Structure 1
Amino acid sequence: MAQKKAGEVDAFLSRPDFSFPIILLYGPDPGLVSERAEAIAEKSGVDRSDPFASVLLAADEIEKDVGRLYDEALTVSMFGGQRLVRVRGAGGGKNLAEAVASLADKRLEGALMIVEAGDLKKSAPLRTSVERSKYAIALPCYQDEARALDRMIDEEMASAGLSLDRDAREELKSRLGANRLASRGEIRKLCLYAYGMERIETEDVAAIVGDVSADAVDEAIDAAISGEVKKLPGLIDRLVEAGTAVFQLQQSLLRTIQQLQAMREIVERQGEPVGRVVERRRPHFRRKAALETALSAWPLDALARVGRRIEADILTSRKESAMALTVTRQMMLSIAVEAARHRRR
């Protein structure tokens, strides 16, 4: 099976094996997926400024016109040499998965295809078609862990000729992680802020670095489910400015609503206290109060209805990608308003 484990991906990136002309990168952090795809593209040797040699396609466009992918993948370069085809925003689309499976049956001649996808389940058609193929490889990309964050911080600090004291490093790490590109951008912004200094301290981090950690996503989700209507717009704006992907907000919200639905069923049908049900889930202490508030407020039927609405809005966002942020913002605000009404009853 043509796939790598998450811990093996860095080694592959250092020396990409182009005997696999179709490379799928997938994971929950779009920034990390994009950064790794860019690293492979750079090492391919293709001139990406040449429109005849390099092409970028959107997955939703391929779903509407799958022939475009075949045309680009099978076209021979006019001036010789390899062509590069990159596909961004892949997910559960049927046409793309079938096309990749078909193209991977035989070795692509004269073309390298890089497909960037979201967090694909094991059963996802796109992932399974690549993993089963002889001429394609799947590379899982997961969110930065502490070691990866430290390595990225060290790279940027060394490049800028700066150093961090221990407390400043811990403060910086606490604000990073939800999006690889956004995290690197925040570090570079900090280095620019500290130009001319020798050492960065905690106060410098607090002054300039935005919060792009997973905790910031959780804070926005908790505000929505617990009815913090006034607080929510600012949290959404902060995440968007930090580069957090819209689908990450959508999936986190849907997952939390589904968890609340399962917990509320225990409360209503088995009569267990809200506090005990939440405690059994072992949530982070910062989330506990919001979960208890939401679980006390939302009735089971309302949670089921909201879950269906989120799924419908996610589908709308994928069909109309330009409207994804507007749809998600409106969805979260309306859920917060409804949560606030339930709390007052």
Structure 2
Amino acid sequence: MAQKKPGEVEAFLSRPDFSFPVILLYGPDPGLVSERSEKVAELSGVDRSDPFAAVTLAADELEKDIGRLYDEAQTVSMFGGTRLIRVRGAGNGKSLAEAVAELSAKKLDGAIVILEAGDLKKSSALRANAERGKFAIALPCYQDEGRAIDKMIDEEMRESGLTIGREARDELRARLGANRIASRGEIRKLCLYALGTSSVTEEDVRAIVGDVSADTLEETIDAAASGEVRRLPHLIDRLVSAGTATFQLHQQLLRYFQQLQTMREMVEKGGEPVGRVVERRRPHFRRKHAMEVALSAWPLDAITTILQRIDADILASRKEGGLALTITRQTLLDVAVEAARLRTRH
């Protein structure tokens, strides 16, 4: 059995162990999965421009003709050396999961198979078979947070011969997230913009880096919690097009209302003014008004009810992965409608 914890994956990727020739990468961020898959492919030493040595297959097509995967994995390279087979879009397909179990039962001779998958549950046959396979390894890929984002920023700054101060870094981190490839692209664009200078400033960040993530995510949560129903569909669409995972929306909404619950207790039980409670949280100035509106509108009992609803919807979206976006969108809209209703009572 071979599997890595999320925090161990970067170390593995720095020196991939190809004694496990079947490598599964999975997670909710397709950009991060793709980037890490590309790194493994690069370090395999196979010439990816050589069609006789490297091939990319689509998982949905393999479900119709799984024999193609067996043929590619067991074919000896025409000019010798290792063959590289990449499978994209893997999920819960039965044929592919069975093929992984069979291909990883004994060591492939002269082939490496890299599979890119979405966010697989522990019960997923593909994930389970990769974790159990004698010659396979499963690598979970999760969203950039904390040190991972800082590492990506540092890599690109170092490559461009630039430095970045704390304030500028904080501003940049607030604008990155969701999709790994999109985030790295934004950092590279920023570095290109700042070439010729020694350090990246907050003004540089604001001038060039788009709101690929957190800005829109926070704006969406604020709009829902404060009852701005008409703005929500557009904000949700922007997040989805930027690659934001639906679970991230749900989790952010849950955390926001948990925070709101604590704050509301200070208002209702501690008798503190809304403005003072919000000020103590030190929100970004762009979020301060929306937080005051939400805290004024939502009483404790309504917050408790909506937290139960969000919990239930998170569970439902995990059970019905294909409906996750629909469920998440409806949760946000229902929260916004309820917030708008509550505001009319004040």
The answer for the alignment partner of 2:186 in structure 1 is 186
Gaps of 5+ in 2: 259-263, 269-280
Give the percent of matched residue pairs that are identical in Structure 1 and Structure 2.
60
Aligned CA distance change for structure 1 residues 184 and 68 (closer, same or farther; 3 Å) = same
User: Shift of the alpha carbon at 1:219?
Assistant: 4.1
* Native 8 Å contact 1:164 1:201 kept in 2: yes
Aligned CA distance change for structure 1 residues 338 and 193 (closer, same or farther; 3 Å) = same
1:61 aligns with 2:58: no
Gaps of 5+ in 1: 264-274, 318-327
The answer for the alignment partner of 1:105 in structure 2 is 105
* Native 8 Å contact 1:28 1:118 kept in 2: yes
The answer for the alignment partner of 1:151 in structure 2 is 151
The answer for the alignment partner of 1:162 in structure 2 is 162
The answer for the alignment partner of 1:3 in structure 2 is 3
* Native 8 Å contact 1:62 1:69 kept in 2: yes
For 2:335 and 2:7, locate their aligned partners in 1 and report how far apart those are by CA, in whole Å.
43
* Native 8 Å contact 2:228 2:340 kept in 1: no
For 2:315 and 2:166, locate their aligned partners in 1 and report how far apart those are by CA, in whole Å.
46
Range moving further from structure 2, 155-164 or 215-224 = 215-224
RMSD: 4.1
For 2:16 and 2:322, locate their aligned partners in 1 and report how far apart those are by CA, in whole Å.
35
Range moving further from structure 2, 334-343 or 135-144 = 334-343
How many residues are matched?
314
User: Shift of the alpha carbon at 1:85?
Assistant: 0.9
Q: Specify the code of the residue in structure 1 equivalent to 2:333.
A: A
Q: SS of the residue aligned with 2:230?
A: coil
For 2:68 and 2:340, locate their aligned partners in 1 and report how far apart those are by CA, in whole Å.
51
| TM-score, structure 2 as length reference | 0.73
For 1:308 and 1:135, locate their aligned partners in 2 and report how far apart those are by CA, in whole Å.
33
1:30 aligns with 2:30: yes
| TM-score, structure 1 as length reference | 0.73
Alignment of 1:248-287 (within 5 A): 248-249=245-246, 251-252=247-248
1:315 aligns with 2:322: yes
Q: Specify the code of the residue in structure 1 equivalent to 2:153.
A: I
The answer for the alignment partner of 1:336 in structure 2 is 333
Q: SS of the residue aligned with 1:55?
A: strand
Q: Specify the code of the residue in structure 2 equivalent to 1:336.
A: L
User: Shift of the alpha carbon at 1:164?
Assistant: 1.5
Q: Specify the code of the residue in structure 1 equivalent to 2:205.
A: V
User: Shift of the alpha carbon at 1:229?
Assistant: 4.1
User: Shift of the alpha carbon at 1:141?
Assistant: 1.9
* Native 8 Å contact 1:163 1:200 kept in 2: yes
Aligned CA distance change for structure 1 residues 344 and 151 (closer, same or farther; 3 Å) = closer
For 2:339 and 2:168, locate their aligned partners in 1 and report how far apart those are by CA, in whole Å.
42
- Bigger radius of gyration: 2
Alignment of 1:176-255 (within 5 A): 176-214=176-214, 216-217=216-217, 219-220=219-220, 223=223, 228-236=228-236, 238-239=238-239, 243-245=242-244, 248-249=245-246, 251-252=247-248
For 1:36 and 1:150, locate their aligned partners in 2 and report how far apart those are by CA, in whole Å.
17
For 1:333 and 1:90, locate their aligned partners in 2 and report how far apart those are by CA, in whole Å.
27
Q: SS of the residue aligned with 1:230?
A: helix
For 2:310 and 2:165, locate their aligned partners in 1 and report how far apart those are by CA, in whole Å.
46
